[in-house]
């Protein structure tokens, strides 16, 4: 399984093609769950774990992988199900989110599947563990639930949104007030982070839950004869979303004469080095790791300075 995950080249071929690969696995029952392969470093049998003092209730311990201490999270417990008891048949899914390595304790690992994003559907609006899902799909007539790992991690290690706006350049702060940004992301946690952070500058955030919804919103504005590239300071988009991913969304925008000049920022928890390469391939203007509030503010203020012709403070140059 780890050898399959090492093949970055094959994965990059999916970029811009509205495709993804999912690793499917089980927790307590026969129900299948999944995580995007892009976020996975390796899959391994459960190694020995060490206790972590004063740990979060969903953390079962730590393990040591290639010189790194890695926190192990009981994924079943973290999404509101009974805790999975570690056994010799348990597995670890080792992931990298925002340059942080975390591992998830799971049961049996099924396989990797290659799918179109338009086969991925938003989760049902019901109670229960759907609160922790970003999407669902069907494989061989069986429902597969795709977990919102960002929400899981944010609950275990809450992200910070507070920024000392008083320390920011006054002219840029004043210029930013009242500007508009379109935020496209299937994770409510990620949308809330951008809303709470950028909202401190008085910027209005429009939200869309996936690439198709974002594109429909942009085209609706354009159909109403709005100058969308001037209406929006920028669009901030996730990479992986149901129905249409951020790469395909960017390509569709660049091919529409009414939208093509929009400033687009790829905002994702996927590997930073990978995404920086993909920014140029698909036509984004910049890249930003998720849950980095100061970097988010910086990239917004740089864009404000560019649009308004204001000098860039030394700390933003």
- Three-state DSSP state, 33: strand
**pTM assigned to the model:** 0.77
Percent of the chain past pLDDT 70, that is, above it, reads 87
Q: Give 309: exposed, middle or buried? Use CB within 10 Å, 0-12, 13-18, 19+.
A: exposed
Question: Residue 271: is its pLDDT beyond 80?
Answer: no
pLDDT reported for residue 161: 64
pLDDT band at 146 (very low <50, low <70, confident <90, very high): very high
Average pLDDT on 147-151 reads 87
Q: Write the pLDDT tens digit of every residue in 199-215.
A: 989 999 999 999 999 99
pLDDT at residue 4 above 50?
no
Buried b (16+ CB within 10 A) or exposed e, 159-175: bebebeeeebbeebbeb
Would you place residue 10 in the very low, low, confident or very high pLDDT band (cuts 50, 70, 90)?
very low
CA distances from 2 to 9, 62, 64, 100 (A): 15, 20, 17, 19
Polymer length of the chain: 317
For position 273, what pLDDT does the model report?
Answer: 55
Rg (CA), the chain: 20
Q: Which pair of tokens denotes residue 173?
A: 């702060």
| Higher local confidence (pLDDT), 12 or 41 | 41
What number is the average pLDDT over the span 136-152?
91
Is 39's pLDDT higher than 70?
A: yes
- Per-position DSSP letters for 155-184, written without gaps between them: HHSPPP----GGGS-HHHHHHHTT-EEEEE
Task: Please state at what angle helix 188-198 crosses helix 149-156, rounded to 10 degrees.
Answer: 60
pLDDT tens, residue by residue, 209-242 = 999 999 999 999 999 999 999 999 999 999 888 8
Average pLDDT, the chain: 85
55-82 average pLDDT score: 90
Q: Yes or no: say if 85 and 70 are a contact pair by the CB < 8 Å rule.
A: no
Contact 190, 290 (CB under 8 A): yes
Contact 23, 109 (CB under 8 A): yes
For 259, half-sphere exposure in the C-beta direction (CA atoms, 13 angstrom radius) is 25
Contact by Cβ (8 Å): 314, 172: no
CA-based max dimension of the chain: 62
Coil, strand or helix at 137: strand
């Amino acid at each position: 399984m780890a050898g399959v995950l090492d093949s970055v080249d094959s994965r990059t071929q999916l970029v811009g093609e509205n495709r993804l690969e999912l690793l499917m696995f089980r927790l307590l029952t026969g129900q299948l769950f999944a995580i995007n392969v892009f976020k996975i470093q390796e899959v391994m049998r459960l190694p020995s774990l060490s206790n972590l003092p004063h740990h979060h209730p969903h953390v079962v311990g730590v393990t040591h992988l290639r010189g790194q201490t890695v926190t192990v999270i009981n994924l079943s417990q973290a999404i509101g199900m009974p805790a999975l008891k570690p056994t010799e048949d348990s597995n670890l899914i080792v992931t990298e989110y925002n340059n942080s390595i975390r591992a998830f304790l799971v049961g049996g690992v099924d396989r990797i599947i290659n799918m179109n994003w338009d086969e991925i559907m938003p989760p049902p609006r019901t109670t229960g563990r759907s609160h922790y899902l970003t999407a669902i799909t069907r494989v061989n007539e069986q429902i597969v639930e795709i977990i919102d790992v960002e929400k899981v991690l944010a609950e275990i290690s809450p992200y910070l949104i507070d920024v000392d706006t008083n320390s920011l350049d006054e002219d840029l702060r004043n210029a930013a007030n009242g500007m508009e940004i379109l935020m496209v992301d299937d994770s409510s946690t990620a949308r809330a982070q951008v809303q709470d952070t950028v909202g401190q500058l008085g910027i209005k955030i429009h939200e869309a839950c996936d690439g198709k919804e974002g594109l429909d919103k942009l085209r609706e504005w354009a159909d109403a004869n709005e100058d969308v590239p001037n209406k929006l300071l920028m669009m901030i988009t996730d990479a992986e979303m149901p129905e249409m991913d951020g790469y395909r969304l960017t390509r569709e925008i660049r091919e529409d004469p009414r939208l093509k000049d929009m400033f687009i920022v790829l905002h994702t928890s996927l590997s930073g080095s990978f995404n920086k390469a993909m920014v140029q391939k698909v036509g984004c203007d910049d890249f930003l790791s998720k849950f980095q509030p100061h970097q988010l503010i910086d990239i917004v203020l740089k864009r404000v300075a560019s649009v308004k012709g204001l000098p860039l403070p030394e700390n933003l140059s």
